[in-house]
Each structure stands twice: as structure tokens, then as C-alpha cells.
């Protein structure tokens, strides 16, 4: 890849990189209430995977 990357393109790729993670652990008690044992993936809206979808840079 070239040394210079367009800042807008870099920003888009950085955002897509963050969209592959689960929601943070503190979201579970905030949304579901304390004492609930629910996996953070339930509260993750966008679950992106590099095998499933391709990013348009």
C-alpha cells in the first residue's frame, strides 16, 4: 500500500475496524439491569466480519 493514505479513507477504515468488536462489558448492566448475565454480543448492532462483507474504501 502507498505511504500516503487519504485521511477520509483512513477514517472510514478505522470506523469499520471498530465495528467488528462486541459492545463494552459495562453496557450489560446499564441496559439489562444489574444481576443479569447476558453476553455483550446481544447488544451489538453491527457485527462486521472480514469474511462476510467487503469494505468499499
pLDDT tens digits along 11-43: 988 998 888 889 999 999 999 999 889 999 999
**Structural domain boundaries enclosing 32:** 7-43
Q: In this structure, are residues 57 and 9 in contact, taking their beta carbons and an 8 Å threshold?
A: yes
Residue 57 counted as domain residue: no
pLDDT of the residue at 49: 85
pLDDT range class, residue 1, cuts 50, 70, 90:
low
Terminal CA-CA length for the chain:
13
Residue 35 counted as domain residue: yes
Residue 49 counted as domain residue: no
| More confident call, 34 vs 2 | 34
Long-range CB pairs of 19-26 (<8 Å, 24+ gap) are 19/46, 19/47, 19/48, 20/47, 20/48, 20/49, 20/50
Residue 24 counted as domain residue: yes
Residue 22 counted as domain residue: yes
Residue 48 counted as domain residue: no
Number of domains in the chain: 1
Residue 50 counted as domain residue: no
Amino acid at each position: 500500500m502507498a505511504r500516503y493514505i487519504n485521511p477520509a479513507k483512513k477514517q472510514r477504515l478505522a470506523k469499520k475496524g471498530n465495528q467488528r468488536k462486541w459492545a463494552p462489558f459495562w453496557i450489560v448492566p446499564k441496559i439489562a439491569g444489574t444481576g443479569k448475565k447476558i453476553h455483550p454480543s446481544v447488544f451489538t448492532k453491527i457485527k462486521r466480519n472480514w469474511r462476510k462483507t467487503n469494505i468499499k474504501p
